[in-house]
Chain A
Amino acid sequence: MKLRFSAQDEQFRAEVATWLEQNLGGEFEEIRGRGGPGDEHMLVEERKAWERKLHQGGWTCIGWPAEYGGRNATIEQQVIFNEEYARARGPGRMGHIGETLLGPTLIAFGSEGQKQRFLPPILRGEELWCQGYSEPSAGSDLANVKTRARFDEEAGRWLITGQKVWTSLAHESHYCFVIARVDPQSVGHRGLGFFLIAMNQPGVTVRPIEQLTGTCEFNEVFFDDAVCGPDDIVGAPGDGWKVAMGLLGFERGVSTLGQQMLFNNELDEIIRIARSNGAARDPVIRQRIADAHVGLRIMRFNSMRMLSGGTSDGSLQKEAMIYKLYWSTWHRNLGKLAMDVLGPESEILDSGPYGLSRMQSMYLFTRSDTIYGGTNQIQRNIIAERALGMPREPRG
């Protein structure tokens, strides 16, 4: 067992840190630390410009193979990049859906033509993507999608009709990848297709969803005979589930240490407040702050285990299976701790009519952490069934 990154990796870290230090200033100073949860819709043009700046430095899509313009960066290097990016308070990435979700999917499942058409603009930070998975009746039960795709033989193109929800950055995106039903008779994960749909067309309508935070980072997207070219389906019609699930497999925890850096900043802020307002003398608060610290340190150790690939045969890693449930629950508790440390001040907004402070925004947003990307209840089902081998509940 070794705890350290290699000397080569540390050299890479220095390179990343130096570049960020030299470039995340001047016109980009104002976007430092911006665009995170609760703030994703802010300073969009500036952050788009930052994506192009990142590309100029060769820092977009670093995990992609060199033949598609990436750096072929190792898992360790990707982790380091994310960690240093968070340490430098780099802004929320506008291009992350294309870079981390769609790109790897096309590289694995896309045609040569799709790769040539779609990968370079993602790399250059020019075309932004959003994800069209969830629907009003397909949340945890993702395979229950109702959006239809019908091939118009005459015009030689696909026509998409249906509704997606929880689509972040939909109004800023050029394209959306969508799972839709190609076989109207099919149910569940059979008969789906994976489509690449241009957002700027008459058949697509985006409507923001106001959240309990008062802000609108998510959207509903309505497709009404939206047009999709005959070559813009990934895999064969009917392969949509396989492609979509393959995409989930690309999340290999490279962003976890970067995420933890942000969590660490939040915990530091809570400690600062507790020391200044006297909450640090409350024995119960002391226990809770120490517990948060313990939880965050273990989150890091767990990530290190995950990234080290505990099993060599590629079989399931238990420490990876608990990760989402672990961090979401930890973060939700942190949100509550922040409010309790603030005491009566926790109620008072920064400004009217509903200008949340950073801590208030964090507190409210943590209620979504245990829901999106697989609720805690779904996570527990997955752990029980796949890791512990407990039988599935009979289905309704």
Chain B
Amino acid sequence: MEFKFSEEQLMIRDTADAFLAEVSTSAAVREAMATELGYDPMLWQRMCEEMFWPAIHIPEQFGGMGLGYVELVAMQEQMGRYLLCAPFYATVCLATNALLVAASEQQKARYLPAIVSGTTATLAYTGSNGQWDADAVEAICTREGENYVISGNYRFVPDGHSAQLLVVAAREPGTRGEEGISLFVLPADCPGISRHWLPTMDQTRKQARLDFDKVTLDASALMGEVGQAWPQLAQIIDLATIAIAGDQVGGAQQSLDSTVAYLKERVQFGRKIASYQAVKHKAADMMLKVEAARSAIYYAACIADEFFQGGELSVELPEAASIAKAYCSDAYFHNAGTGIQLHGGVGFTAEYDIQLYFKRAKSTETFLGNASYHRERLARTLLDGSDLL
């Protein structure tokens, strides 16, 4: 059994680490997060042109690097660790996954090379009802001749105000739940779309509201079968869930590391406070959570790889995603919250970065369903004999 990084995967991780240490410093994060756009376009250009990051798991035939999900999650972990402000997650983990799972060959040939060369993108499927499953899809899609007309509002869309390309979900009138859902891919500047930045408590991950007013698309925008897209959308969401859990592990790790570094500096009662058991035991619990969380995301990443390769373990995708998100959400929140406590007074200042992790912990926890949501999803299969997953 080789449940560990290969040499190549280690190199990819270390390269991401080194690059982010240089470009995603505390000062750079604070500068980017204060803007409405939310990232530095020059940095995004470097990430695309020098590092080829958006290309990571796009197949080589579309100009990508053709690497796997383990590599993607390893990068997500580093990005979470450095609080990276960039349209990477929305473009790669939401929109690219959507294209890989649900797009036709023509759509892939048209859009994936564009993403490789720096086009930003995102996925919009959630309305304003606060759900993350099929019920979240509220926008309505009607048929007018050969065209599709979409109306409705999307909320909580990552980088939705700035993405150049959109994948959106909409449902046929009168349908609910998993019925009648379709997916479309379209440029974000189509007539009828208005986009609004939503200021957020966690400023490192931008969200937007998208209002669709009779947005008219021809059949080339439709991904897959009309009204039958829920199984694909569910897979896209599971893949995105695994990726955001990677961000959470990186954040949980840095919350621990920065806290321990502070504890080794700070002296009270004539001793470094890192020498007090009351403090050490909290730090040990933080390490336990981050290591267990890491085991969860790399298992899930392997399952995602199986999914893309059509392997027999791909049936585990929903379960692995929920396990990872349930555990990592709680672990990140615990570590960032405990991190503030162990920092003492300075943990409450704007100056120390632990507060930024605390806020990103909550925003990533909420996004795509918190721990309770994912535990209930698991409970349905464990206790109700349902294969809802």
Instruction: Identify the A interface with B (CB < 8 A).
Output: 1-5, 9, 76, 271, 274-275, 280, 283, 286-287, 289-291, 293-295, 297-298, 301-302, 304-305, 307-310, 318-319, 321-322, 325-326, 377, 379-381, 383-385, 387-394
Interface stretch of the complex, out of B125-133, B183-191, B296-304, B354-362: B296-304
Interface stretch of the complex, out of B100-108, B199-207, B370-378: B370-378
- Contact status B291-A322, CB under 8 Å: yes
Closest 7 CB pairs of A and B: A384-B280, A290-B375, A380-B284, A383-B284, A301-B295, A286-B379, A301-B299
- Contact status A271-B70, CB under 8 Å: no
- Contact status A5-B1, CB under 8 Å: yes
Interface stretch of the complex, out of B52-60, B83-91, B268-276, B345-353: B268-276
Interface stretch of the complex, out of B3-11, B16-24, B37-45, B136-144: B3-11
Complex interface: chain A residues within 8 A of B306 (CB): 3
Give a binary string over B251-288; 1 marks a CB under 8 Å from any A CB, 0 the rest.
00000100010011000000110111101110111011
- Contact status A308-B2, CB under 8 Å: yes
Minimum distance in angstroms from A297 CB to a CB of chain B? 5
Complex interface: chain A residues within 8 A of B280 (CB): 380-381, 384-385, 388, 390, 393
- Contact status B296-A271, CB under 8 Å: no
Given contacts A291-B375, A293-B378, A388-B284, contact A3 B302 (CB under 8 A): yes
Within B301-344, the residues touching A (CB, 8 Å) are: 301-303, 305-306, 313, 319, 322-323, 326-327
CB contact between B263 and one of A9, A304, A377, A390 (< 8 Å): that residue = A390
How many residues on the B side are at the interface (Cβ–Cβ under 8 A)? 52
- In the complex the two chains form, what is the Cα distance from A305 to B274 in whole Å? 29
In the complex, besides A1-B305, A275-B383, 18 extra interface pairs with C-beta distance below 8 angstroms are A1-B301, A3-B3, A4-B1, A286-B379, A289-B382, A301-B295, A301-B299, A304-B295, A305-B4, A322-B291, A381-B284, A383-B283, A385-B280, A388-B287, A389-B260, A390-B260, A390-B275, A391-B264
- In the complex the two chains form, what is the Cα distance from A326 to B292 in whole Å? 8
User: Is B146 in contact with chain A by the CB < 8 A criterion?
Assistant: no
- In the complex the two chains form, what is the Cα distance from A37 to B302 in whole Å? 35
Minimum distance in angstroms from B284 CB to a CB of chain A? 4
**CB closest residue in chain A, given B312:** A4
* Residue picked from A4, A5, A385, most chain B C-beta under 10 Å: A4
- Contact status B3-A308, CB under 8 Å: yes
- In the complex the two chains form, what is the Cα distance from A2 to B323 in whole Å? 19
Complex interface: chain B residues within 8 A of A310 (CB): 4
**CB closest residue in chain B, given A320:** B291
User: Is B50 in contact with chain A by the CB < 8 A criterion?
Assistant: no
User: Is B384 in contact with chain A by the CB < 8 A criterion?
Assistant: yes
Complex interface: chain A residues within 8 A of B327 (CB): 294-295, 298
- In the complex the two chains form, what is the Cα distance from A393 to B279 in whole Å? 11
Complex interface: chain A residues within 8 A of B303 (CB): 3
- Contact status A379-B295, CB under 8 Å: no
- Contact status B1-A379, CB under 8 Å: no
Minimum distance in angstroms from A334 CB to a CB of chain B? 14
Complex interface: chain A residues within 8 A of B6 (CB): 1
CB contact between A287 and one of B3, B299, B302, B376 (< 8 Å): that residue = B376
Give a binary string over B187-226; 1 marks a CB under 8 Å from any A CB, 0 the rest.
0000000000000000000000000000000000000000
- Contact status A381-B277, CB under 8 Å: yes
CB contact between B1 and one of A3, A293, A295, A392 (< 8 Å): that residue = A3
Given contacts A3-B3, A4-B1, contact A377 B281 (CB under 8 A): yes
- Contact status A287-B296, CB under 8 Å: no
Minimum distance in angstroms from A323 CB to a CB of chain B? 9
- Contact status B295-A319, CB under 8 Å: yes
- Contact status A302-B287, CB under 8 Å: no
CB contact between B302 and one of A1, A280, A302, A384 (< 8 Å): that residue = A1
Complex interface: chain B residues within 8 A of A318 (CB): 287, 291
* Residue picked from A5, A290, A307, most chain B C-beta under 10 Å: A290
Can you list 21 contacts pairing A with B, beta carbon distance less than 8 Å? A1-B302, A2-B1, A271-B383, A275-B383, A286-B376, A289-B383, A290-B376, A290-B379, A293-B378, A294-B375, A298-B323, A301-B3, A307-B3, A318-B291, A322-B291, A322-B292, A380-B277, A388-B287, A390-B274, A390-B283, A392-B275
- Contact status A293-B382, CB under 8 Å: yes
Complex interface: chain B residues within 8 A of A308 (CB): 1-4
Given contacts A1-B298, A3-B1, A381-B277, contact A322 B288 (CB under 8 A): yes
- In the complex the two chains form, what is the Cα distance from A206 to B384 in whole Å? 51
Given contacts A297-B323, A388-B287, contact A304 B281 (CB under 8 A): no
- Contact status B379-A304, CB under 8 Å: no
Given contacts A271-B382, A280-B383, A286-B383, contact A379 B375 (CB under 8 A): no
